[in-house]
Structures are given as C-alpha cells and as structure tokens.
Amino acid sequence: MSAPVTIEISARDGEARAGTLRTPHGAVQTPTFMPVGTKATVKGLTPGDLRTIGAGIVLGNTYHLYLRPGSDLVQEAGGLHAFSGWEGPMLTDSGGYQVFSLAKTRRISENGVEFTSVYDGSVHAFTSELTTRVQEDLGADVAMVLDECPPAGADQQYHAESLRRTARWAERCKAAHGKRDQALFGIVQGGLFADLRRESLERTVAIGFDGYAVGGLSVGESREEMLETLEVVAPELPPEKPRYFMGIGDPVGILQVIALGVDMFDCVLPTRLARHGAALTAEGRLNLRNARFRRDLGRLDPECGCEACTDYSRAYLAHLVREDEILGHRLITLHNVYFMTDLCRRARGAITGGRYDEWSRAWISRYMGEQVPARPV
C-alpha cells in the first residue's frame, strides 16, 4: 500500500530540492513554509486569508489542542479540518516540544512524560500511544512521533540517552499508529554531536516512516552550529521521503536550510513578530513602532502583493500598531505569512532554474544589508 503522504522531486540544484508534496487534502509545492496554527487557528487570519496568501500546509499543536478543547471534541466535529474550516493539508506535532520546554513541571520516564497543564495546573501524562491516538483523533494529514527535545547545553551523555529513548518511543508510535490516511514522521535528535546525530538517523530510518524531521536545532545554538549539524543529517535522509526542519522561521535561516535539502519548515516567528509591530520585507525587518514611520506614506514592501502592501501605507500601519488596533496586527500578520510563502515560491523558481546559490546569496545580502560570501563546501 502506498504512503498517504509522498513527495515527488522535480528539480535539484546542489542539495536544494523543488518538488510536490501529495497529501489526502491536496498537493503542496515545496519548499514550503507552514504557518503555525497552534490552537487550530493561525493568529489573526481566517482560512480564506490563508488560501489567498497561498499557504500550502498549516501546522496544529497537539499539546494545546489536547488540553483545550480536547481531541474528542475535534474528532466529534469531523477532525481538525472541519473544526477549523481549513480544508488544505495539515500537520500536527506531538506536543513533545511544549512539554519538554516546561522543565520545572514535567517528569520523564521510559513510559513517557508527566507534566502540568499551563492552563489550570492539572497533571497529565503523554505516552507514545496517547499522543499517537490524539493525533489520529485530530485527523491531520501528517502526525509526528513523540520525542524529547533536550535542554540547551545538555551534555553528550544526556543526548545519547535521550535519543535512544526517543527511538524506543518512535517504535511504539509506529506500532500504535493505525490511521491509513495519515502519514507518520520520525524525528532525528542528537544535539550538536555528529556521531549521535548519525546514530539517531540510523535508528529512526531503520524503523521506517513516511517522512523525516530534524529536531532539536534552532533552540539557542549558533547559526553556524545549526548548519554544520544539519549538513551531517540532511544528505543521509532517504531522498524519496519528505524532509522537515522543525522550528525555523527567519527568512535567512529558511534559505540556508533549503540549500541543504530541506522541504518543509515551520515557526511562530512571522506571526509573533507581527503582534509586536514588526514586518518582514525584502530590505530587512521593519519595526513599525519606530518614529521614522509616522509620516511614511510609502508601501510597506514595494515588491509585495499582499493586501497590507497594496492597500495601505506604512504611516497607516504604524498608526494602527501604536494604537494597538486589532486590524494592525491582522494586516502585518497577513503580510508576514505572505512574505514567507512568496519567499518559498521564489526559492523554488531559483532551484528549478539552476541558480539557487547565486540567487539566495544575493537575496540574503540585500535582506541583511551586507555582502554574504558562499559557505565553504
């Protein structure tokens, strides 16, 4: 039986890949940025907005949806697609990152992890079997295995023990997973240790999943450390399977991981920045709270085709932000998500045209306002 989610690679330029991710809820052009809809909504945007923007696949959060409103209610409503009104492809994480970020209120064992709800202090336990069942109830196209994301600064021994436990949990997730129209992705851990990353990769691939994610990066390490670690992992991932980098959302970082062969990525950064009045543009990040935008009647980003850029001025958007008007947050969120989606579209074109390295370095240089040299091979 064929996998419920597959990827067809149509072009390569170095390690960079352009392709089509096929899911039960439609096809997605890759590389693709997945807007984060933590609680079954991308903050400030409707499903219609996401369709207009051109978003291909949206991410939901198992931890929050398990606690509120509960996966049983979502299942009763017909699954996450029907409940949220988004009929395109969806991915749910396992909730592991949220649980493990709450270091003071959780306890890890071989069976899983016990934690305290951020909402009401009630005690819960995530196991491989439970997070798999919850994601089946939510009904997203892609579910993730339960993994541990070790704390920043953890030593090599901790990472070694953690990745082996994560591999055992992944085996249990696969054994528990029975939803035939839902893919299950494995996760490679191992911190910044090349030998442990290789061990985790071998263990995870040996179990056999519909796609593979790289976790435990973009969590506080330097950018160079992140890229060096990804260079160890990405080339060894099965080329016929989707590749997902978890938790990266800044434009420069996205272009850098695309260059190493990543197909999918997600982050709350574009929507979080918008709520603080910051917009992503081709000339870099703009803080609309700055006084220089008070009387700036130019477009937010002259190269952008979103509603915020075509219909409103920087001065008006800055006014909305300073007055804490909901419309300001909504318009800048719409712009930032459009910006990330369009960046992936441009990256795909550069890969298809065989000019990705030259194009991405020029784009990053302009965004950062300084010349960016090629990374050593």
Q: Per residue in 201-253, pLDDT tens?
A: 999 999 999 999 999 999 889 999 999 999 999 999 999 999 999 999 999 99
User: Is the distance from CB of 59 to CB of 35 less than 8 angstroms?
Assistant: yes
Which residue among the candidates 93, 137, 210, 250 is catalytic per the annotation? 93
69 preceded by cis ω (within 30°)? yes
* Tens-digit pLDDT profile for residues 331-341: 999 999 999 99
- Out of 240, 267, 294, pick the residue that ends a domain: 267
Mark whether 266 is an active-site residue.
Answer: yes
Do 227 and 360 fall into the same domain? Answer: no
Q: What pLDDT shows up at residue 377?
A: 41
- pLDDT class for 374, splitting at 50, 70, 90? low
If you average pLDDT over residues 295-303, what whole number do you get?
97
Q: Check which CATH number belongs to the domain holding 51 and give it.
A: 3.20.20.105
Do 259 and 302 fall into the same domain? Answer: no
373 inside domain: no
Do 220 and 354 fall into the same domain? Answer: no
- Out of 267, 293, 319, pick the residue that ends a domain: 267
Is residue 370 scored above 90 in pLDDT? no
375 inside domain: no
Is residue 373 scored above 80 in pLDDT? no
Which residue among the candidates 147, 210, 263, 266 is catalytic per the annotation? 266
If you average pLDDT over residues 30-58, what whole number do you get?
97
- Out of 233, 249, 267, pick the residue that ends a domain: 267
Do 45 and 190 fall into the same domain? Answer: yes
Q: What pLDDT shows up at residue 205?
A: 98
Mark whether 93 is an active-site residue.
Answer: yes
* Tens-digit pLDDT profile for residues 49-74: 999 999 999 999 999 999 999 999 99
373 preceded by cis ω (within 30°)? no
Is residue 142 scored above 80 in pLDDT? yes
